[in-house]
Amino acid sequence: MNSRRDFLQKLTASAIALPFFTEHASAETKNKNDKPYDGPVLKVAIMGLGSYGTRVADAMVACKAAKLTGAISGTPSKIKAWQEKYGIPEKNCYNYENFDQVKNNPDIDAIYVITPNGLHKDQVIRVAKAGKHAISEKPMAVNAAEAREMVEACKKANVKLLVGYRMHFEANTLEVIRMRTSGELGKIYFFQGLSGFRIGDPTQWRLNKKLAGGGAMMDIGIYSINGARYMIGEEPIWITAQETKTDPVKFKEGVDETIQFQMGFPSGAVASCLSTYSMNGLDKFYLNGEKGFAEMQPSTGYGPIKGRTNKGELNLPHVTHQTVQMEEMSAIILQGKKPVVPVDGEEGLRDMIIIDAIFEAAKTGKKVMLK
């Protein structure tokens, strides 16, 4: 199936062969983690054993502070394969009907929900009611109203809700954020985000309004939304947007093909972004300030992330994103660590509020003001 995950993998493999990526990342992860670890370990079950769930599971093999201990799927053959591959015991495996029983399982601290967007709300709320911490893949829901329900349910259950924003832990991304916060780039004027690829199989869930909540914006455009916010370091106060649809058969009502959108920020900075399912090779961030700039391409692929600033190349070592993400999420959940860029439910909700506003602006042709 042609999906964002396929696209991100192929895009980042264009410069260097993928086998080298794997070997390189594994070696660096090994060097990074060769010190003995005696801290707390987050015991994680993954819900949704598809391509990205498998990617996360593979990455967790290198984790020291997080361990894959459970699996949840509606497909028995997948569960059996995961049991054999990752050594997951039968008592830690569930299906979508009975996973509420995880409440009585001390082998699982958190559940990472990696299912279609439209299922996240109900599944995360059930996780919370079972007394387990929830990690939701992004986008965390199909609209802001659902996201709010998820946040409130987790607060009520006194469990943490995190969102799978792997880029918030990526070294080169954090270096650009450091340059901006330290004042090295001066006053920020402009951000550009380009996120897109040509999607394949027209029957896949990402083109199903009920399951996806939209089209390209939910799947790939969210990277530019989130990137604008963490690169500029502010929350937008207005949105404008324009939608283009060239194939109404493939991209049915409520499933966006291409949207250009603009955001304005309190300091006067502006962002101009593109989200599309009809153009390949779009994975670029550009940040401009009075004293300097930062350009990243690829900016959100699986890595390595490449880029340059007015001071030179961005070349911090690549470590598998999902490995770093799960290590950091363990520290957040078990040790109260505060990340440079938040990955909590409120962070995910902010993106959903903006997506709602983009859809409204594209539909009405009007500027939408945000509180």
Mention every residue, 6+ apart, whose C-beta is less than 8 A from residue 359: 214, 217, 241, 256
Q: By three-state DSSP, how is residue 140 classified?
A: coil
Distance CA 264, CA 271 (A): 7
> Which alpha helices (H) appear in 190-314, and where do they start and end?
209-212, 216, 222-232
- Whether residue 327 contacts residue 65, with contact meaning beta carbons closer than 8 Å, is answered with yes
Please identify every residue annotated as catalytic. 138, 223
CA torsion, ordered 349, 355, 358, 359, to nearest 10 deg: -120
Angle made by CA atoms 291, 293, 298, in degrees to the nearest 5: 170
Bridge partners, 25 (sequence order):
none
Q: At what angle do helices 222-232 and 345-364 cross, to 10 degrees?
A: 120
Angle made by CA atoms 225, 227, 233, in degrees to the nearest 5: 105
Distance CA 64, CA 35 (A): 10
Distance CA 173, CA 36 (A): 28
**Strands laid side by side in the 110-113 sheet:** 93-94, 66-72, 42-47, 110-113, 133-136, 161-163
Q: Name which of 191, 194, 178 is nearest 298 in CA terms.
A: 194
What is the secondary structure of 292-357 as a DSSP string?
-EEEESSSSSSS---EEETTEEE-PPP--HHHHHHHHHHHHHHH----SS--BHHHHHHHHHHHHH
Distance CA 282, CA 139 (A): 19
β pairing state of 110-113 and 133-136? parallel
